[in-house]
Amino acid sequence: MARKVGALNERNIVDHAAFAAEYQVNVERFWSKVDRPSPQSCWEWSGALNKGYGQFHVGRSSSSVMLAHRIAYGLANGKLPEAVCHSCDNPRCCNPAHLFGGTRADNNLDMTRKGRHAKVKNAIRGEKHPQAKLTDTEVAAIREKYARGGATQRQLAARHGVCQRTIAKAVLGISFKNVARQWVMN
């Protein structure tokens, strides 16, 4: 027998109650701030917002707040994953059918795939960065010397007056991405 949308079985009722008790959510007050026109539409949060996302006070402390879509997911599923993502890309939506759980990496990947990530334009790279301690020419030489096996990262760091991690990032291309990588490591 197929389960109706919005119907709760006995296990979900227990999970719902446990979630509400654990986070001390006033369930009636929470849902009173959600406009639910139809099961398929976005359920817009009408309460307080934080950077476009709904927020709701939980617990006894006035400073304890949670994002509204996380509460909606927790009430529907009885537990919270590391991250709760919107399939509808509407930060005010609290419709559990539009929410899915995952990790922060899943959330970042979803955001990137949908083109919602911040794009860094005209980033200052390489030796032009105000905190750069190496020049682009030095980085090219460091990469070449390291690739040939002429020195360890620690030796290169000591020669150039930087820490080993700076050399590692330059060698791996994590920093100084503007400097062409014309070498291949074995």
Regions of the chain with pLDDT less than 50: 1-13, 183-186
pLDDT at position 182: 55
Which pLDDT belongs to residue 119?
Answer: 65
pTM: 0.58
Can you give the pLDDT at residue 186?
41
HEC readout, the chain: CCCCCCCCCHHHHHHHHHHHHHHCCCHHHHHHCEECCCCCCCCEECCCEECCEEEEECCCCCCCEEEHHHHHHHHHHCCCCCEEEECCCCCCECCHHHEEEECHHHHHHHHHHCCCCCCCCCCCCHHHCCCCCCCHHHHHHHHHHHHHCCCCHHHHHHHHCCCHHHHHHHHHCCCCCCCCCCCCCC
* Tens of pLDDT, residues 126-165: 888 888 899 999 999 999 999 999 899 999 999 999 999 9
Q: What is the pLDDT of residue 12?
A: 47
Model pLDDT, residue 60: 79
